[in-house]
Amino acid sequence: WCPPAVLQRPLNRYMGYVQQLKPIMAGQNPGIKAVDLIKKHQWRSMSPEQKQPFQEASLWVREQFKKTIHKKKDLTNHGKPKRPCSPFSIFMSEPFEEARVMSQAKMKSLLEEWRNLFSHEKKVYTQLAEDDKIYHMVEIEFSRKEELLCLYL
């Protein structure tokens, strides 16, 4: 299994214009930096009709990017479990379920309480986290098999 390639955001219309103009300007002026060659005022002075091809290309690329992102999300997140809980997150979730909303002071007091727990008291949460990790590994394996099945169907 290999991770999917990272997708880059599409260029906006100005950057598409710059990308198209850069080799032309660099060919005419080989010793000058591209930043000095391409000025914003050239873009601003262009009429809307001249900007139209860049606008259309930008919209098309953006739509293709959105479609690709949605396909990637559908493939990667299809039933994929999240990361297993840590002992600290299990400890923090118990009072959170009771209160539903926690103030910052309550969070700080729970953090201090966690730091002051003895190791045999933390062992309960560590064991719960280990159980969650095992469950998570089973879920990941099931998710991978399901993902492979979706790719071949």
| CB of 21 closer than 8 Å to CB of 35 | no
Tens digit of each residue's pLDDT (9 = 90 or more) over 1-47 = 344 556 677 778 878 877 887 787 777 777 777 666 666 667 777 88
SS (H, E, C) 37-94: HCCHHHHHHCCHHHHHHHHHHHHHHHHHHHHHHHHHHHHHCCCCCCCCCCHHHHHHHH
> What global pTM score does this model have?
0.41
pLDDT, tens digit, 9 for 90 and up, residues 93-102: 777 666 566 6
Model confidence at 110, in pLDDT bands (50, 70, 90)?
A: confident
Task: Lowest mean pLDDT of 24-28, 60-64, 76-80, 134-138, name the range.
Answer: 76-80
- Cα torsion for 60, 66, 72, 74, to the nearest 10°? -130
Residue 103 Cα distances to 32, 99, 106, 107, 110, angstroms: 58, 10, 5, 6, 11
